[in-house]
Copies of this chain bind each other. A is one copy, B any other.
Amino acid sequence: MNAARTPRSDDPDGSASALGDDLGWALGTVLRAYRNAVGEVMADLPGGARGYQILTMAGCGLAGTQLALAGHLGVDRTVMTYLLDDMERAGLIERRCVPGDRRAKQIAPTPCGRAKAAELRQRLRCAEERVLHSLEPADRQRFRQLLRQVAIGVDGPRPQQPGCEP
């Protein structure tokens, strides 16, 4: 099932083993599949999957300011403005004043936004499971856990690996 780790005579530069270990290809392929699967579920939600993520964060009271939200989602603050404009127009979130800093805006879900997120949650979960259908249930949980650990860790320190940049 795994690509061979030992060099073969017809593969002197290790291309073959590199194929199966290409993290970039696998990540890109899975994210593309995710977008396809989730796209229809999120079709009528402003911002799509990202709009859902904002609603979820805001639902936990963890959204914070627009800048914090932009950092969490990995987009520029200007993108966040457009995104929140759309969501506010749709009545899903509201911009509240932050006590103590009149520049910043606190992002909070409206009751309608909460309801929408709760409605989508189940359908999203199903779409996600379809993406992971080639894993057995136990492996799906394991995969989710590992992926989440990687995602949380990427903002942390990036220690030099031994044997790199010799």
Are B24 and A49 in contact (CB-based, < 8 A)? yes
Which listed segment binds B: A51-59, A79-87, A88-96, A98-106? A51-59
Docked CA distance A138–B82 (Å): 42
Q: How far, in Å, is A110 (CB) from chain B's closest CB?
A: 13
Docked CA distance A134–B161 (Å): 12
Main secondary structure of the interface of A (DSSP, over half): helix
User: Which chain B residues lie closer than 8 Å to A19 at the CB level?
Assistant: 56-57, 60, 62
Question: Given known contacts A56-B15, A57-B19, A164-B123, is B118 in contact with A134 (CB within 8 Å)?
Answer: no
Interface residues in A, total, Cβ within 8 A: 72
Mask, A99-142, CB within 8 Å of B = 1, is 00000000000000010011001010110111111110001001
Docked CA distance A21–B57 (Å): 12
Are B29 and A154 in contact (CB-based, < 8 A)? yes
Q: List 10 A-B contacts (CB under 8 A).
A: A13-B121, A18-B56, A25-B53, A26-B147, A26-B150, A29-B154, A30-B151, A33-B154, A126-B165, A139-B146
